[in-house]
Every structure is written in structure tokens, then in C-alpha cells.
Amino acid sequence: MESARESAVISGPLAGVRVIDMATVVMGPYAAQILGDLGADVIKIESPNDTVRVGALHRTPGMTPLNLNVNRNKRSVTLNLKDEGEHAKALELIGTADILITNMRIDALRRLGMDYDSLAAANPRLVYAHAQGFRSDSDRARLAAYDETVQAASGLLDLAQRAGDVGAPVVLPSIFGDKVAALTIVYAALAALVHQRATGRGQHIEVPMVDTLLAFNLVEHLQGRTFEPPMGPTGFPLSMNKGHRARPTKDGLAMVIPYSPQNFRDLFAAAGRPDLAEDPRVNGEFIDSARDGEDLAALLETVTPRLTTAQWAEVCAKHSIPFGPVLRLDEAAEDPYVQGGHLLDVAEHPSEGAYRVVGIPLDFSATPASVRRHAPLPGQHTDEVLGELARGEVRR
């Protein structure tokens, strides 16, 4: 990834596509940022009071770490949608768009004349991606949704409780629901864009967070409930194994995950415990994780402290045993793998100075994605964008 810089040069597979980001917090803005990384011209219609602009860590008010990470490759336009003249400008701007992303409540959108039916009448090519907590046809449609409540409603906390055997499970320490939904918005919008290019018609896309995360969780966890009548409970056995955790090494923590009987025997021999390789549980055709998983995990933790993390890395590479050191995020920028992928390069922001840019985790051989614009100040591009609008300069 090249360093972030202000540039009018458009590159990437979505060059020529215009996206209007009329979303707040993370889900919608993150989706729009990804489309911007892929080359789209993303215009953010925003309020300066967006949650991502609020936080203790900043050099300039509103320029928080979260804002820098979800609003790059965008132009910021501040418009008061309750003002008649500025509302008209917003509608005119949306009329130039291929894709609109919003997570505003449907009642508010209707009052503003910014629901799909109203906007599609003026711009039938518009791909309208509406993200919300729950399906619009459900009795929960008007409920507020936050990542923690979505993790609960999608069954993720139930899985955490059962796997950890705890009474009160902790939510996954990541805004998981928002980001999974954001990725879903991206692929749904791109699919609709293909249809738009073929037919000249847009469409309405609804992305409910709870439905999205529930479907995501059930890919492997539906298990015995796949069948009717059920053949067993939900929960993918390997993931639900309580011994499925990082192991202590001589100098740290690492994921050392022997899967096959041979993996276990090689690991025990490397730890200087060849006697354990004679255990009948690691000498069959396969490891019975449901029956022996937890006991074998406990046995593993008696031998992994015998070697350092680096020594285990060599052993596991030699014997094809799944292995991964636990990355400390505070040390990520110094990690050779992270540096090699340009995943946390330093760039110079016009107002914020030096900062770390979260890299683009993919590579296109013909149409490379790039970070072309730093996250903007609130309303930084209002005059520029409205000037283009007045002159009829619409990039497609």
C-alpha cells in the first residue's frame, strides 16, 4: 500500500463510481470507506456531531482515531437536511450517485423524502443500501441496535457462554456486528452495481445487522439442528472445545493446535516427553475431540512451557502443526509480517501530522486499491463538491 496522500487521481476497480455516504458510526461508513479504497468517489454527507468524531484522543476536534480509520478516501460535505436549501442540494447530489449508503431510521428518511421510493423516482439507477438493526417487516424494526445487543440477538453470546462455560459471557472485544454487516453491504452493493450496469436500473438493499450476524454464525454452528428432527445441538464441536485456547510457552503465549494423532506425537517428542506419544488417545485414526479434547488440551499445557515461542515456531513448521504466536496489538507496528504488508505505515495528515494508516488487506494486479485521501475535516469539501454540482461535473 502506498502512503496516504491527498490526490485527485482516481484508481482502483471502482474508478468512475460515485457513492454517497449518509451513514453514522461505523457500519455504513466502514462499508463506504472500503468502496473508496477500491476507487469509488465517496462523498460523505455528514453532521459534525457524528459519534466517530467524538472522543478524548485527538489533535484536532473531531479527528479521532476511529474517524481516521473509517472516513479516509472520502470528501466531506456538511449539509443541514432540515434546511430547505441545503436539503435541495443534498437531493441534487444524491441524484448524481450510483450508490447511497444510509443507516438513518426509516421514519426520518421518509420525512426527509430520502426513502428509496422517493429517491428512485428521480434517480432510477440508484443502488440504495439501507443498514439497520432489525428487518423492516419485523416487530423489532424500530428498535435501536448496538453491537453488544446484536451479538446477543444473533446467538454469539450464547456460543461464548457455552464455549467458556461461564455464567455471564463477555461480548467479543470488537465491534463485530458492525463490521460483518459493513462487509455485507459492500458485496451486496457491488452485486447490485453489476445489475445496474447491465440494466440501467438500481434497487433497494436492506441489510439488517441481526439477520446478517445470525446467518454468519450459523454457517458452522447450526450443526445437529440442520436436520429435522434435530440430530443434536447447535455448536461446531471444534470451536466449542473448551481447550481451544492459547498455550503458555517458555516466554509468552501461542496458539499451538495439533489436529492429527501424528501432530500430537511429534509435539510430545519435541517437548522431550516421548512417553506421552504412547498415549492411546493419540494413536488412533483420528483425535476424538468431543471425548478427549479437553483432557488432551490440559496435557498440552503441561509441555508447551518447555520451549520458547520461537522454538515452537520451528517445531511446528517442521512437522506441519498449526501454530501462531499471539500478536500484542501494542507491538503490531514492529511486527515484520505487518511491516511487510504495509498494514500500519506512517503517513502525514495535513491537520493531524504523523499517524498510522490501517492498510488495505488485498491486492489487485491490474487495478490496485489505494489510500488517496486522508480522512477529511467536517465539511472540508463542501465548496468543492457543491461547485462541481453547480458546474454539472459528475464523474461516472
| pLDDT, tens digit, 9 for 90 and up, residues 286-323 | 988 878 888 999 999 999 999 999 999 999 999 999 99
DSSP state letters, 139-166: TTTTS---HHHHHHHTTHHHHHHHHHT-
Question: What was the pLDDT predicted at 47?
Answer: 76
Give every CB contact of residue 348 below 8 A, 6+ residues apart in sequence.
Answer: 3, 354
Distance CA 221, CA 114 (A): 38
Confidence of residue 396 (pLDDT cuts 50, 70, 90): very low
| pLDDT, tens digit, 9 for 90 and up, residues 370-388 | 999 999 999 999 999 999 9
Segment 11-20 shows an average pLDDT of 95
Domains of the chain from N-terminus onward:
18-217+360-391 (3.40.50.10540), 247-325 (3.30.1540)
Please work out, in degrees rounded to the nearest 5, the angle formed at the alpha carbon of residue 297 by the alpha carbons of 242 and 299: 145
Give backbone dihedrals phi and psi of 285, rounded to 5 degrees, phi first.
-75, -25
Segment 135-139 shows an average pLDDT of 96
State the cell numbers at 367.
Answer: 487495478
Question: What was the pLDDT predicted at 154?
Answer: 97
Secondary structure class of 137 (helix, strand, coil): coil
Segment 158-164 shows an average pLDDT of 93
Instruction: Mean pLDDT check: name the lowest of 63-77, 87-101, 239-253, 325-339.
Output: 239-253
Give every CB contact of residue 293 below 8 A, 6+ residues apart in sequence.
Answer: 237, 241, 242, 243, 244, 287
Give every CB contact of residue 6 below 8 A, 6+ residues apart in sequence.
Answer: 350, 372, 373, 374
Question: What was the pLDDT predicted at 290?
Answer: 78
Question: What was the pLDDT predicted at 293?
Answer: 85
User: Any idea which residues carry the catalytic annotation?
Assistant: 178
Question: What was the pLDDT predicted at 243?
Answer: 81
What one-letter code names the amino acid at 156? L
Question: What was the pLDDT predicted at 2?
Answer: 44
Phi-psi region for residue 378, left (φ > 0), alpha (ψ -120 to 50) or beta?
Answer: beta
Q: In sequence order, which ranges of the chain are alpha helices (DSSP H)?
A: 27-37, 65-70, 84-94, 106-111, 116-122, 147-153, 156-164, 176-199, 209-221, 237-240, 261-270, 289-303, 309-319, 336-340, 382-391
Mean pLDDT computed over every residue of the chain: 93
Question: What was the pLDDT predicted at 4?
Answer: 46
CB atoms within 10 A of CB 48: 13
Question: What was the pLDDT predicted at 26?
Answer: 95
Q: What is the DSSP secondary structure assignment for residue 244, as one 8-state letter?
A: -
Distance CA 215, CA 284 (A): 35
Question: What was the pLDDT predicted at 52?
Answer: 84
Length of the chain as a residue count: 396
Question: What was the pLDDT predicted at 75?
Answer: 98
Percent of the chain clearing pLDDT 70 (strictly above): 96
